[in-house]
A and B are shown apart, each in its own frame.
Chain A
Amino acid sequence: MQKELKVSAIKNGTAIDHIPSNALFKVIQILGLEKSEHQITFGMNFESKRMGNKAIIKIADRYFKDDEINRITLVAPNAKLNIIRDYEVIEKKVVEVPDFIEGIAKCINPKCVSNIENIKSKFKVIAKDKVTLQCHYCERITNQENIIIKN
């Protein structure tokens, strides 16, 4: 109950839970929420038994397609989605790491063509439990700790 008071309830929309607190703004950025016109409430540093510390985002009147929401797995691999209609959670979903990621992350290799020419970055996901990316262009491998999200 207390949690619900901290981040106000929404009538219809999506609540994204179990985001690591330090990834909150990255999730906002990846989903393009800073440009959204929907009503958005978010909070961070909530206590979580599993994660120690988590963030929550609630977006009114907005639902996400799977491949849209799965992009956040790069920074929030354990995020959970609550789909809300009429104040009721009608569906719960977990995010899944996609096989291929385009345009979100930046290749860590400064000599990579994707950092030199004006092109969209592309990565193959070669491991999902601990997200590991391989650049489609320079083939350099980046592990979870080193993933850089593009601005």
Chain B
Amino acid sequence: MKSLVSITDFSKDEILKTLDLASEFENNPNQNILNNKVVASIFFEPSTRTRLSFETAVNRLGGRVIGFSDSANTSVSKGETLKDTISMIANYADLIIMRHHIEGAARYASEISRVPVINAGDGANQHPSQTLLDMYSIKKTQGKLENLTIAMVGDLKYGRTVHSLLMAMSHFNTTFKFIAPAELQMPVEYKNYLNKLGLKYSEHTELSDNIDDADILYMTRVQRERFSDLLEYEKVKNIYILTNEMLEKTKPNVKVLHPLPRVSEIDINVDDNPKAYYFTQSLNGVYTRMAIITYVLGLK
């Protein structure tokens, strides 16, 4: 039985297979593969964007959805253990898609459940479907995954999306540029990991001038609450806003990605720039999630 809890649960081959499947679903989005299957979509903390994307994926595949979008009115709020909740739901459904604020909750659930578990986010830890949709967007816009240069911008210390993307892209001889304020640099364990693999990376604190050789510009939010020194935040918050002017000298094939929601880190004028890809990126999420669901259920 295959679950997807962490992006490292998928090998390079499994990542490629999922991305191929996603592209198949993009060409033919309505397929009855989940006919007669029940999928539990259990969101212990609300996330409308992710939940609707997953539930759309299940519906396009012809499956049925049970579940909840917030644990406030469930037995969980009456103190039921996660173990009991998961055991019960695993008896009803063929697949569990879950989001939980407790870190490691999805791994634990995958050990209890008799059906596959897809992690739709466990606190600050993992959100592997986001990573796969990011990779799908990279592959679709660049025509390949190998030998690309990815500039990661913003909160590289706490941002789980950049950590997972780094791990997954490390299969493809990627060169990384880490652009972040001093307080929010990429943690040393990820740099050690790249060193071990012999992959190239560089670190910068300025956004402009450091993105000209990138194929992908992966933007993330720089949040005020991450700073111990608010003066430092005030200093950096305007440096990390991407503008059309900064994109002028960049490569013609570059695409700007962002896991969304965006706050102010991308100027709204960039939205109409052909290099902006973040809205299409989120649409790719449905196809990628269709692929993940089909793959973990062993249906393709």
Report yes or no: A111 in contact with B123, Cβ–Cβ below 8 A.
yes
Contact A139 B189 (CB under 8 A): no
B280 at the interface (CB under 8 A from A): no
Q: Does B67 have its Cβ within 8 Å of any Cβ on chain A? A: no
CB distance B189 to A141 under 8 Å? yes
Contact at B126–A111, with CB atoms within 8 Å?
no
Chain A residues in 8 Å Cβ range of B123: 111, 138
Q: How large is the interface on B (under 10, 10 to 19, 20 to 34, 35 or more residues)?
A: 10 to 19
A interface, how many residues as a size bin? Answer: 10 to 19
CA distance A141 to B81 in the complex (A): 26
Alpha-carbon distance between A47 and B143 when the two chains are bound, in angstroms? 65
Spot the interface stretch: B100-108, B130-138, B222-230, B234-242: B100-108
List residues 70-123 of chain B with CB under 8 A from any CB of chain A: 81-83, 101-105, 107-108, 122-123
Q: Which among B82, B124, B125, B189 is the interface contact of A117 at CB below 8 angstroms?
A: B82
Within 8 A of B (CB), among A6-31: none
Q: Do B6 and A139 touch (CB < 8 A)?
A: yes
Question: Among A112, A118, A141, which residue has its beta carbon within 8 angstroms of that of B104?
Answer: A112
Interface residue from B6, B82, B189 paired with A113 (Cβ < 8 Å): B82
Q: Which residue of B lies closest to A114 (CB)?
A: B104
Q: How far apart are B163's CB and chain A's nearest CB, in angstroms? A: 9
Whole-angstrom distance from the CB of B179 to the nearest CB of chain A? 23
A137 contacts the other chain (Cβ, under 8 Å)?
A: yes
Cβ-closest chain B residue relative to A107: B104
Residues B108 and A139 in contact, CB atoms below 8 Å apart: no
Q: Which residues of B contact A119 (CB under 8 A)?
A: 108
Please tell me which one of the listed residues B6, B81, B103 contacts residue A112 in the complex, with CB atoms under 8 A apart. B103
A113 and B105 contact, CB distance less than 8 A: yes
Beta-carbon contact of A113 and B108 below 8 Å: yes
Q: Which 9 A-B pairs have the closest CB atoms?
A: A137-B104, A138-B103, A113-B104, A138-B104, A113-B108, A137-B107, A113-B105, A111-B103, A113-B102
List 9 additional A-B contacts (Cβ < 8 Å) besides A119-B108, A136-B104, A138-B122: A111-B123, A113-B82, A113-B103, A113-B104, A113-B105, A137-B107, A138-B103, A139-B104, A139-B125
